[in-house]
């Protein structure tokens, strides 16, 4: 049982929420339509201008009459003064046509507009000159419709209950008369039938009838959908179902405005409903729009209806605006105070940010200095590692070389000792007197140096040649591992930059070392400064 109650409540809430959203959407559409009124009026004026142009170009009286008739139908819900003028012009030429029904129709056109203007006596005078029995079926419909309309207006204006009852009876009589001459399938018949059912209090039957016709006309853009929606709204008004009344009044009002109908009921009624709900802004906008359109249409009766509600709505709207201005002033003061506090906070924050920015700059500079130091330390570490590696290799090489020279010296001593003991003085002098021994040892020394160096820096020759012009690159001879020039810069790569030390190491004169360096610098493909730096980076 609890679940059923919960589900029922949930469904009702969902339906109510959906209805509220649909209602808000319809009102927003109506708001847009109210703002776009000038556009719809412009379309209407273009259509009227087109008819007037056609009328001016027409010569046949029959054609003029039909064009006047179309113009009249366009004007009768748009501007009553113009509609009356057209009706009189139409009546002025009808005598040239041999058609009694046209004459009756033109007079009834005048009567219709007089009735809409609230000139009831003049309307009855015109209608009283028409013999009902001389009218054909179409004109009888029009004739009964005019009486129905005029008594409907009189019923709305009746002050005493006796007058209301009198006009209500007459109205019901003309409803019956209309139902007898109207086709049961037409919209006019359904509208009259709806009116009769409503007056009889048969609201469910009236609602079924009008809803069926609404579903049939829904989606069309003509004024008919507005008339049907207005009829449905009237039923809901009598049943006191405000939400549904408001929905259909909104639909009817949109239809009126989009079809440039200026004399209407729906928007005025909707304004009153919204006023009662507290939606003052919309109520004011709508009632103001209704008054402007009624004034434009010269619909005096509509203006009187609107003037009953307009002062109340305007006064309420003004009070609301005053309250909103007072509230706005309070908020303005509050915002000013808060703005001042905010400015103080911003100034404080700015001061703190400035301090932070200064600290960040100091930290950034310190970081940059630290990065430079780290880079220098990294480079130094690389050099140390490289130097350690070179030292390790060359220490081994030197020890091996020393051991080899000790062995050679020992062999040399033994050979000399042997020669001296054998009194082979000449042989001993021959061994010690030549330069071949030193030359051979020096050649072996260079070969060992080259081998050890290229073991440390296997790409030295290619990288060094990359610093020279293509045509000046050095290619060692088959029996040489390094050329003398390459050997000079090999020592430079090992960190020996002093020319005298290089000369001592290679058993060259300082001038020879200088000449080798000069020769290489003349072959460079890069600047001399870059060359010195890049030689030291070979093999990294």
pLDDT at position 457 over 70: yes
Task: Pick the closest to residue 109 from 136, 133, 134, 145 (CA basis).
Answer: 145
Q: How far is CA 199 from the centre of its chain?
A: 54
pLDDT at position 8 over 80: no
Q: Check residue 41 and give its pLDDT.
A: 92
Q: Which of 15-19, 299-303, 429-433 has the highest mean pLDDT?
A: 299-303
pLDDT bucket at 43, cuts 50 / 70 / 90: very high
Adjacent-strand bridge partners of 468:
524
Residues 6+ apart with CB under 8 A from 518: none
Q: What pTM was computed for the model? A: 0.58
Give the side-chain half-sphere CA count within 13 A for 419.
15
pLDDT bucket at 437, cuts 50 / 70 / 90: low
SS3 127: helix
Residues 6+ apart with CB under 8 A from 514: 499
CA dist., res. 540 & res. 382, Å (int): 9
The radius of gyration computed from the CA coordinates of the chain, to the nearest angstrom, equals 58
pLDDT bucket at 15, cuts 50 / 70 / 90: very low
- Using a 10 angstrom Cβ sphere, with 0-12 exposed, 13-18 middle and 19 or more buried, the burial of residue 478 is exposed
Q: How far is CA 25 from the centre of its chain?
A: 22
């Amino acid at each position: 049982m609890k679940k059923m109650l919960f589900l029922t409540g949930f469904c009702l809430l969902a339906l109510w929420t959906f209805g509220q959203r649909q209602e808000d959407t319809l009102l927003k559409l109506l708001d847009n339509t109210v703002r776009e009124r000038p556009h719809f009026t412009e379309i209407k004026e273009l259509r009227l201008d087109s008819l007037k142009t056609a009328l001016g170009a027409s010569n046949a009286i029959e054609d003029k009459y039909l064009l006047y008739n179309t113009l009249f139908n366009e004007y009768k819900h748009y501007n009553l003064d113009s509609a009356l003028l057209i009706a009189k012009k139409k009546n002025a030429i009808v005598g040239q046509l041999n058609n009694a029904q046209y004459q009756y129709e033109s007079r009834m056109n005048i009567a219709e507009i007089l009735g809409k203007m609230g000139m009831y006596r003049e309307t009855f005078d015109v209608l009283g000159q028409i013999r009902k029995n001389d009218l054909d079926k179409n004109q009888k419909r029009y004739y009964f419709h005019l009486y129905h309309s005029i008594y409907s207006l009189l019923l709305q204006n009746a002050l005493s209950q006796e007058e209301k009852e009198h006009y209500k009876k007459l109205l019901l009589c003309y409803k019956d008369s209309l139902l007898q001459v109207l086709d049961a399938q037409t919209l006019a018949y359904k509208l009259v039938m709806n009116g009769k059912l409503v007056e009889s209090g048969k609201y469910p039957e009236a609602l079924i009838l009008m809803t069926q016709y609404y579903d049939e006309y829904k989606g069309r853009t003509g004024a008919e959908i507005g008339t049907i929606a207005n009829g449905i709204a009237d039923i809901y008004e009598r049943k006191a179902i405000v939400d549904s009344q408001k929905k259909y009044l909104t639909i009817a009002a949109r239809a009126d405005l989009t079809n440039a109908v200026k004399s209407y009921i729906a928007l005025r009624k909707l304004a009153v409903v919204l006023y009662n709900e507290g939606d003052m802004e919309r109520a004011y906008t709508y009632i103001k729009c209704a008054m402007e359109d009624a004034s434009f249409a010269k619909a005096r009766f509509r203006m009187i209806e609107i003037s009953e509600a307009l002062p109340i709505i305007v006064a309420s709207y003004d009070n609301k605006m005053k309250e909103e201005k007072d509230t706005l002033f309070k908020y303005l003061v509050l915002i000013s105070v808060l703005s001042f506090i905010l400015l103080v906070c911003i100034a404080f924050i700015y001061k703190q940010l400035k301090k932070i920015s200064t600290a960040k700059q100091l930290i950034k500079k310190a970081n940059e200095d630290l990065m430079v130091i780290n880079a220098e330390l990294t480079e130094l570490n690389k050099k140390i590692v490289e130097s350690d590696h070179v030292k390790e290799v060359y220490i081994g090489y030197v020890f091996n070389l020393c051991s080899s020279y000790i062995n050679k010296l020992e062999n040399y001593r033994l050979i000399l000792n042997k020669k001296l003991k054998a009194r082979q003085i000449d042989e001993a002098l021959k061994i010690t007197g030549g330069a071949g021994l030193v030359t051979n040892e020096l050649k072996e020394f260079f070969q060992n140096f080259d081998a050890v160096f290229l073991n440390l820096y296997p790409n030295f020759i290619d990288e060094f040649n990359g610093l020279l012009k293509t045509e000046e690159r050095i290619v060692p001879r088959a029996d040489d591992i390094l050329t003398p020039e390459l050997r000079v810069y090999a020592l430079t790569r090992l960190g020996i930059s002093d020319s005298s030390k290089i000369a001592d190491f290679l058993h060259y004169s300082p001038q020879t070392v200088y000449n080798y360096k000069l020769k290489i610098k003349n072959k460079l493909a890069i600047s001399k400064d870059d060359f010195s730096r890049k030689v030291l980076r070979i093999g990294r």
